[in-house]
Structure 1
């Protein structure tokens, strides 16, 4: 079992703290950093010294957006496994997020258990479809 290093981009303090507690309790995971806005997230992700296996991004942030984080991540030399967790996971938004490099899009209201399963699969060394996955 691999300790999954997660970077969380979420501006709601309540959601952020609850998600960190849930991930660290139910999955072999450690949240190694957080951001509440696009600029902070992009700056953190641009630093090659940050070991991270998964980036979880909300769409609506304190300033900027998760779409901007996804867009900026495409231009970075290192590749990240990116997922979106949002209350605004409409079909159009899902397509936009996937087009910008998100691996998956989860709805905050309906998909928390699915996100936990996804993270557990990554920590176990398998992708959610069961195939092996290499983590940092």
Structure 2
């Protein structure tokens, strides 16, 4: 069973590296990407064939916080993760308030995010 991810990240280098890392280590299947708040919110609202959305906070246009907030009304099994260089205690608290399931720091917590993805993938497989 594929574990499908949508990624909202404006840096093509980070996005490409993240996709390769997650495909290799978490057997994740990317179903799409966007670089802006508007495009991310539009795609995620129009499509429900994703299991996890990975969202950066600072985008080329708009804010990842607004993407996270827009995903409050998602399917119960779908997860929203914030991946940011600004994962302070205040940011983590705000993301949780807006409905994020987890927040990871890009610089120091990639391994933890991979582990989270593996856990969510296993959870979905058990439920199927």
Under a length normalisation based on structure 2, what TM-score does the superposition of the two structures give?
A: 0.91
Distance in 2 (CA, whole Å) between partners of 1:119 and 1:11 is 21
- Give the structure 2 partner of residue 52 of structure 1: 50
- In the superposition, relative to structure 1, how do residues 77 and 5 fare at CA in structure 2: closer, same or farther (>3 Å)? closer
Contact 1:87 1:107 in 2 (8 A): yes
The secondary structure found in structure 1 opposite 2:6 is strand
Contact 1:11 1:35 in 2 (8 A): yes
The unaligned stretches of length 5 or more in structure 1 are 127-131
How much does 1:112 deviate? 0.1
Runs of 4+ in 1 over 3 A off after TM superposition: 76-80, 132-135
- In the superposition, relative to structure 1, how do residues 114 and 46 fare at CA in structure 2: closer, same or farther (>3 Å)? same
- Give the structure 1 partner of residue 107 of structure 2: 109
- Give the structure 2 partner of residue 119 of structure 1: 117
The secondary structure found in structure 1 opposite 2:61 is coil
The structure with the greater share of residues assigned to helix is 2
Per mean C-alpha deviation after superposition, the further-off stretch among 114-123 and 93-102 is 114-123
Deviation readout 1:87-114 (Å, 9 max, x if unpaired) = 0001101000000000000000110000
- The 5 Å alignment of 1:82-93 reads 82-93=80-91
Distance in 2 (CA, whole Å) between partners of 1:120 and 1:72 is 25
- Give the structure 1 partner of residue 3 of structure 2: 4
Residue 17 in structure 1 maps to residue 45 in structure 2 = no
- Give the structure 1 partner of residue 62 of structure 2: 64
The secondary structure found in structure 1 opposite 2:33 is strand
* Number of equivalenced pairs: 127
Distance in 1 (CA, whole Å) between partners of 2:121 and 2:94 is 27
CA RMSD of aligned residues (A): 1.8
